[in-house]
Structure 1
């Protein structure tokens, strides 16, 4: 080999110079014995400047290739290594072979291969990051722990130095540090509370724009460049957490290596997911709070029902008993005015008793839904008609029905529903005896049950009003009632997930229809 390297053999030098890839020969002291033009260009000097110099030049002193040189000299085994050339932003693969005295180095540009591999690695890391963040957000019972898992995922899959999430307070004026992973994990200290509009984190929140840089040490928004230099920080990425234009926090991180464009794009989508997760959890908590308030309200309503059924009815029964006693004992013994007054009192007490009972029934529909089971409407119809037997006989009413289905519901409430509708149809009749027909029509979402009568009908302007509690369309002297029956009916239907409506023309009867879910299918 030493003969080959004799410089008086121009044709061999010409042969080595003709190699288009960087080639060099070093002696045992790592001095450059020979290098071609491509190798000199790679270092960035003329060949004559480099001959006889040690290979650990200032331009290459930090390159990992020097450790490979020493390993080859020590082991006398060839080594292949990839190394970067920062000046040209390229990657090379060096094949280093031992010689009898020294070593030879042949390099080739592998930037394309290296970048393809890095891209594949980033794609894998991005997918893992998205998966871990999605898993964390899917289990958001403890929002602080969820945000911590998101930060940990960024550190684990992107190799960033540390990642943090701040969330805005209710006033939107202060950012509170809720999660921190990587180099720093504490949640106290100078960064625990950041005013919106102050420092780089607060400015990201105020401007509602990301702040991204791969040159941290020269970024004017980095308040402590000495710290960045000491810790080797190169990149910063900060994203406002926005939902429908509303700022709810900031997701930010520092890295010791540049962050690629595709990584920054993925981080943007992760920030969006985190923002949506925070809002979703806050919405869930608000819903839970309202459900608890509703439960307390229902408990208060139950208490009211108890008071109405006991504390109000007891004195009412006493008053009713005494005025009825007065009516029986003194009717005809006083003047006619006294008889009228006592009659008014008896009727008033009776009407108050009916009103309290109806009000109790209305309140209990909302607070005691009961378990929904398969209910046979034929049985419900028969029970309702049985309860109305006296009214049907008194009015000579004719009640007919088509075959009725089984539906999913609460049987007690459905009896009350159908009884209310049949009672109204019997009550609001014209000169002819009441004729009432109950029909059922199956639809895609369940059944529509209709109660049609030949009564006085209803004007369209009252179609909504009749279902409002205490709303009456006729004087009590003409048609008795409390104005609660149809309100109870509407509430029962809605508790069963259906809707109720009326179709009518004054003087031509009315049809009240409501929807119910079909009975659950049974599989053997």
Structure 2
């Protein structure tokens, strides 16, 4: 029977569940040959089982609908008293006699309990525990028993049951107690319950029991509480316990129903470990992407792995190309936690994976590392009895996994358990995940290191080239000036003595010197863009274009050009260089307009965090093949201007890139050309744009 009435149910699903439970209980009662019945509050029999019908000697169908008082010798089961309290109907037991069809009277103990249907209406369930003469004479048996009814139910349950008296002495224990706690029931009966309570909790149990007997206060949830039990071999077993108390023959007793919840606790522990390990992997992955310090990454790895696996020793070791004297792989420990205690200082600071005195533990590490470097999965060494090190610490299990591809691993992630344990599959998955993150982080840092070195080399090379270009262009100025001067002297003094060919040759030489001077001046200007530029400040491009059109006013009027400038932004930059850039573009648009008057339009469009400023004309256009090399040094798009040397657009690109932008060209040959310069928006504009996107 239960410890109290079931809670009220109002839905059909709950009713079906109740019927299912009663059906299973009925099957158990029948198997145990226990007489059971159900009656309405007025005493009308609602149902009986075969054992009840057999006891009375009548058919089940005949008994249903009959008053229970017609069977009970005393004539009254006091159902009204049992149903008096609406919210609390404790089970009750009492002796009585029943009449059989054969005219005999059978002495029984009746056990009654109130149940409620889904609509809340009550009904009473009862069990009859009838004793044979031999059983009646054995009533003085020392252990407390409810007879065959209680024993049949208790022996069939997989959960442990213990009945105690107010002195915490065991009066009954079912067979499941031995399976759960290792104590034989017959040995427990008559002894104190504290035998199955861990020593650290025994006094608290006795104090709580005494307080309950004196005040009725419960210090824990009797419906369900999780407490440890003391196994006969000394270890603790996690238990889920339900408690209740009852009165029998004027004495109070306590009954505890408990089950071993070790599997559930193991599942909870595994789930908790999995969550912690996943969090560690996520944190380490984020740190590996942000960190530029390899040693810091490795130290954090050992700490996280040691915590995630609850071990005292973890190390990250880098592979050394040569092998040790014994033929094993040489390693250099880059980071470790707790390994000095296990292997000694020589191993942690050295590179051979062995302790100073070559103990078994050192051999274990050397072998484990060598195997891991040649394996594709985690390598596990299990030592049931433990392997003692020189310092008296035992290794019970060791795991290592290679860091990096199996064809060329960077190193090994090792961990050692100094307490008896078994690494689970999820532990190995955790180590492999950490290994993958380490490999990625180390590879990324190596790429960044190489990239940084390459960038440094390129910057140094560019600086040397700029210095060379400046030196060449500057140092060539004087010899070129001298050549031009002497050519003019030759022309002035001996021009009359030269024939037409001679004067033509002199003109070619002078023109070549002039063009060479222009190229040197352009090269000098190109080399000075980064070194001679001014600090950046807010520059109004509208004002810049206004100055440009003013400077080009003569060309604009001579060509009858039409220049339309739209609203232009303010950017961070070097005003002088930006003026040079747009003056080159507008000047080129006028120069390469063809026979028709030039029509030039300057506009600006916002593209995310950048401005795109376009200078468009409807002139000659540029061939696609020419577009691809247009921004290179000394390349020209047209032969319309004989004085051009092909360096203006290269300077424009250098200026745009110094400002964090770039320049591109698009054209339809014979129709139009558009040069687009992209420049970063100011920080305030980027912030404003970000806020608008967020809204």
Which category of TM-score, normalised to the shorter sequence, fits these structures? 0.7 to 0.9
| 1:391-427 deviation digits (Å, cap 9, x = unpaired) | 556x535241232402424322222222222332333
Structure 1 residue 289 corresponds to structure 2 residue 428 = no
Q: Give the superposition deviation at 1:130.
A: 4.4
Which residue number in structure 2 is paired with residue 111 of structure 1? Answer: 262
1:122-521 equivalences in 2 (<5 Å): 122=273, 125-126=276-277, 129-130=280-281, 133=284, 137=288, 140-168=291-319, 176-184=332-340, 186-191=348-353, 199-211=367-379, 213=380, 216-217=382-383, 231-242=393-404, 247-255=409-417, 256=419, 257-365=421-529, 371-388=535-552, 391-392=555-556, 396-408=559-571, 409-430=573-594, 432=595, 434-445=597-608, 446-455=611-620, 457-473=621-637, 479-495=642-658, 496-506=660-670, 508-518=671-681, 521=684
Q: Give the superposition deviation at 1:440.
A: 0.5
Label 1:400 to 1:274 Cα distance change in 2 as closer, same or farther (>3 A). Answer: same
Label 1:370 to 1:289 Cα distance change in 2 as closer, same or farther (>3 A). Answer: farther
Three-state SS of the structure 1 residue aligned to 2:447 is helix
Q: Give the superposition deviation at 1:317.
A: 2.2
Q: Give the superposition deviation at 1:162.
A: 0.9
Which residue number in structure 2 is paired with residue 29 of structure 1? Answer: none
Counterparts of 2:262 and 2:598, CA distance in 1: 91
Q: Give the superposition deviation at 1:175.
A: 5.2
Label 1:262 to 1:407 Cα distance change in 2 as closer, same or farther (>3 A). Answer: same
Higher Cα radius of gyration: 2
8 Å Cα contact 1:235-1:258 kept in structure 2: yes
Q: Give the superposition deviation at 1:284.
A: 2.8
Q: Give the superposition deviation at 1:181.
A: 0.9
8 Å Cα contact 2:473-2:524 kept in structure 1: yes
Three-state SS of the structure 1 residue aligned to 2:160 is coil
Counterparts of 2:529 and 2:270, CA distance in 1: 63
Counterparts of 1:240 and 1:165, CA distance in 2: 10
Counterparts of 1:119 and 1:325, CA distance in 2: 98
Three-state SS of the structure 2 residue aligned to 1:12 is coil
Label 1:245 to 1:191 Cα distance change in 2 as closer, same or farther (>3 A). Answer: closer
| 1:46-96 deviation digits (Å, cap 9, x = unpaired) | 889x89xxxxxxxxxxxxx899569969x998997555789999655899x
Three-state SS of the structure 1 residue aligned to 2:650 is helix
Three-state SS of the structure 2 residue aligned to 1:450 is strand
Three-state SS of the structure 2 residue aligned to 1:234 is strand
Label 1:247 to 1:458 Cα distance change in 2 as closer, same or farther (>3 A). Answer: same
Q: Give the superposition deviation at 1:354.
A: 0.8
8 Å Cα contact 2:559-2:597 kept in structure 1: yes
Q: Give the superposition deviation at 1:44.
A: 6.9
Q: Give the superposition deviation at 1:503.
A: 0.7
| 1:134-158 deviation digits (Å, cap 9, x = unpaired) | 6754663431132112202322343
- After superposing the two structures, state which structure 1 stretch, 337-346 or 136-145, moved more: 136-145
| 1:284-331 deviation digits (Å, cap 9, x = unpaired) | 323322332233123213312330243222322222233233333433
Label 1:371 to 1:192 Cα distance change in 2 as closer, same or farther (>3 A). Answer: farther
Counterparts of 2:354 and 2:552, CA distance in 1: 71
Q: Give the superposition deviation at 1:386.
A: 4.3
Three-state SS of the structure 2 residue aligned to 1:342 is helix
Three-state SS of the structure 2 residue aligned to 1:463 is helix
Q: Give the superposition deviation at 1:126.
A: 3.1
Label 1:169 to 1:339 Cα distance change in 2 as closer, same or farther (>3 A). Answer: farther
Label 1:131 to 1:423 Cα distance change in 2 as closer, same or farther (>3 A). Answer: closer
Counterparts of 1:474 and 1:106, CA distance in 2: 100
Counterparts of 2:444 and 2:524, CA distance in 1: 38
8 Å Cα contact 2:480-2:513 kept in structure 1: yes
What's the TM-score once normalised by structure 2's chain length? 0.57
Three-state SS of the structure 2 residue aligned to 1:298 is helix
Label 1:136 to 1:377 Cα distance change in 2 as closer, same or farther (>3 A). Answer: closer
Three-state SS of the structure 1 residue aligned to 2:454 is helix
Label 1:350 to 1:208 Cα distance change in 2 as closer, same or farther (>3 A). Answer: farther
Q: Give the superposition deviation at 1:217.
A: 1.7
Counterparts of 1:165 and 1:192, CA distance in 2: 15
Label 1:136 to 1:239 Cα distance change in 2 as closer, same or farther (>3 A). Answer: same
Q: Give the superposition deviation at 1:356.
A: 1.3
Counterparts of 1:392 and 1:494, CA distance in 2: 29
Q: Give the superposition deviation at 1:428.
A: 3.0
Counterparts of 1:380 and 1:474, CA distance in 2: 27
How many residues align? The count is: 478
Counterparts of 2:232 and 2:561, CA distance in 1: 100
8 Å Cα contact 2:316-2:334 kept in structure 1: yes
Q: Give the superposition deviation at 1:385.
A: 3.7
Higher relative contact order, structure no. (Cα contacts within 8 Å, ≥ 6 residues apart): 1
Label 1:44 to 1:278 Cα distance change in 2 as closer, same or farther (>3 A). Answer: same
Three-state SS of the structure 2 residue aligned to 1:512 is strand
Counterparts of 2:321 and 2:524, CA distance in 1: 41
Q: Give the superposition deviation at 1:518.
A: 4.3
